[in-house]
Amino acid sequence: MFRVSRREEIFFDYFVETAENACKGAEILEELMNNYVNVQDKIKAIEEAEHEGDKQVHKILKQLNRSFITPIDREDINLIAKELDNITDSIESTAHRFNMFNVQSIPEDAKKLAKLITTSTKEVKELMIELKNMKKSKKISEKIIEINRLENEADFIFREAVTKLFLIEKDSMEVIKWKEIYDYLENTLDVCEDVANIVEGVVMKHA
């Protein structure tokens, strides 16, 4: 039987906290893109979320180093922690492009991708909540499938957006900067899917 003591459960609690932080970063990014004012303040708030994510990962790794028994494989704890942090890192990298590239307005396709990021990070958080009870949970598979579906939807929007960019946009500098921003947005959803794929592997190990 898969039994987890209260002390070992702390890893799952830390995963949820780290995922919640990613949700916060995603929500600020979506707000930034839907309400494109006070840009510097919003980017600063995303930076703070990224720094908090780093602290959370250090906390997980510190706990891992002093734990003799872990509820799942040590390498999986390490992978999940770092991939959760990568979500916030990718959100921050995206946000910085708006300042670096002197972006003046946000295309609808970019807003759609931002909304998908917010939705996907919420699903990741729910997945982390379910992970603690992986033996009994009936929702883990649903969450993994939904995160994969959201990533597929993002791929479609990304391809459509880039196609329109090269067909319609006449300013080559706009093409260059928006192609990169779209890449970062799409990559953020890829990282959410990476978390789901790691969890799927963990669940299979303990089936």
**30 burial type by CB count under 10 A (0-12 exposed, 13-18 middle, 19+ buried):** buried
Mean pLDDT calculated for residue range 12-18: 96
pLDDT in tens, 127-164: 999 998 888 888 999 999 999 999 999 999 999 999 99
CA distances from 43 to 58, 84, 97, 131, 155 (A): 23, 19, 10, 31, 25
Residue owning tokens 């300042």: 99
What's the pLDDT at 2? 43
Q: What is the CA radius of gyration of the chain?
A: 18
Q: What is the CATH number of domain 10-205?
A: 1.20.58.220
Other Cβ atoms less than 10 A from the Cβ of 171: the count is 9
Mean pLDDT calculated for residue range 165-184: 95
What's the pLDDT at 67? 85
What's the whole-model pTM score?
Answer: 0.94
Domain boundaries, the chain: 10-205
> CB under 8 Å to 61, separation ≥6 — which residues?
78, 81
What's the pLDDT at 136? 81
Mean pLDDT calculated for residue range 162-176: 94
Mean pLDDT calculated for residue range 42-47: 98
What's the pLDDT at 132? 86
Mean pLDDT calculated for residue range 39-64: 96
What's the pLDDT at 133? 86
Region of residue 165 (phi > 0: left; psi between -120 and 50: alpha; otherwise: beta): alpha
The HSE-up count of residue 116 (CA atoms within 13 Å, CB side) is 29
Write b or e for each residue in 54-77: b if 16 or more Cβ atoms lie within 10 A of its Cβ, otherwise e. Answer: eebbeebeebbeeeeeebbeeebb
Other Cβ atoms less than 10 A from the Cβ of 37: the count is 7
Handedness of CA 87, 88, 90, 95 (dihedral sign): positive
